[in-house]
Amino acid sequence: MKKGTKKAGGNKSQMIRDFAAANPGMKISDIVKALIEQGHKVYPAIVSQALRGTAGAKKRKSKRGRKPGTKNTVKTTNTEFDLSNIKAAAAFVRATGGVDAALSSIKSFQKISDLLK
């Protein structure tokens, strides 16, 4: 600590808290005026901080980070996906002669299945 920075006379924050406890109806500006009249060097920010409690400490509501039980997984809508489905689709496209022919076959099949319902 630098020489000359510690002053005799006690804790200023405790003095402010004691004064505020003795005068519960006073606002911060009134407390500042009264303490200045008594010869103490105080500012509204110091009084506000002293009355708040611990100087500037904030309590964290919850622990930061992901919630317990959650995992980093990719959700898929179709869990029945299998490589055999791709192989069957590729064989169907080759058998019909191309993608356009396969699509027209599927559309025709859909029309027929709608009529049978």
- Which one-letter DSSP state was computed for residue 109? H
Q: What is the pLDDT of residue 117?
A: 77
pLDDT value of position 58: 62
Report the Cα 40 to chain-centroid distance in Å.
42
The alpha carbon torsion through 10, 14, 17, 22 (nearest 10 deg) reads -50
pLDDT value of position 25? 87
CB atoms within 10 A of CB 109: 10
The predicted pLDDT at position 24 comes to: 86
pTM of the model: 0.40
> In order along the chain (117 residues), what is the average pLDDT of each group of 10 residues?
56 89 90 92 90 65 70 62 81 91 91 87
* Model pLDDT, residue 71: 67
